[in-house]
Amino acid sequence: MLPALFGNDGPSELSTNASGSAESQRRRRPRIPISAPLEIPEFPKKAKDPRADIKRFRSDYANKFAIGSRHTVEFFNGSFDDAQKESRNAIRLMLVFFHDPTSEDSKRFIHESINSIEFGELISRNQLIVWGVAKDSEEGKYGTVYKLG
């Protein structure tokens, strides 16, 4: 079964016809070329105004998710680079959240996890830095592929 899934000439459930090879040839899956060229995407440039992206995310979070919640998180007010510098200088762990405004899973994660009392206690007890941004913003695109080091 597995060789047929990957385009090899191994036995498959579909090609067990005893009458002839014509039908089994039609049912055999086409081979996927292994030598397809791999294109490396361009590294996104730093956001021109990362603070605007952060401000927009924090405002959206406050207006859409914080109202009526049992607990809210205080996201770091600065760019990804600023949060990383603060994390290094203070020797504190940094949690990064890339929010997808179009995803119901992302919204549910905020309501059920980030805004939970337990998550707030975890942040307070361990003095973690929490940084968040919308993934479709310039700062979000930059942060998702940021090279640590």
pLDDT tens figures, 6-25: 445 544 444 445 555 655 55
Q: Say which residue, 126 or 46, is predicted with more confidence.
A: 126
Specify whether the CB–CB gap between 25 and 122 falls below 8 A. Answer: no
**Per-residue pLDDT at 119 exceeds 50:** yes
With 0.75 as the threshold, say if the pTM is over it.
Answer: no
List the helix and strand counts (H, then E) for the chain. Answer: 7, 2
Please give the sequence-ordered ranges of beta strands (E in DSSP) within 1-149, or none if there are none: 94-99, 129-134
Q: Say which residue, 149 or 129, is predicted with more confidence.
A: 129
Sequence ranges of the domains in the chain: 1-39, 50-144
pLDDT tens figures, 63-98: 998 887 778 899 999 999 999 999 999 999 999 999
**CATH number, span 50-144:** 3.40.30.10
Q: How many Cβ atoms from other residues are within 10 Å of residue 21's Cβ?
A: 10
Distance CA 103, CA 139 (A): 19
Q: String of b and e for 44-62 (b: at least 16 CB within 10 Å)? A: eeebeebeebbeebbeebe
The mean pLDDT value for 120-149 works out to 85
pLDDT tens figures, 36-67: 677 776 766 777 888 999 999 999 999 998 88
pLDDT, residue 68, reads 79
| CA nearest to 97, candidates 42, 60, 46 | 60
pLDDT, residue 46, reads 75
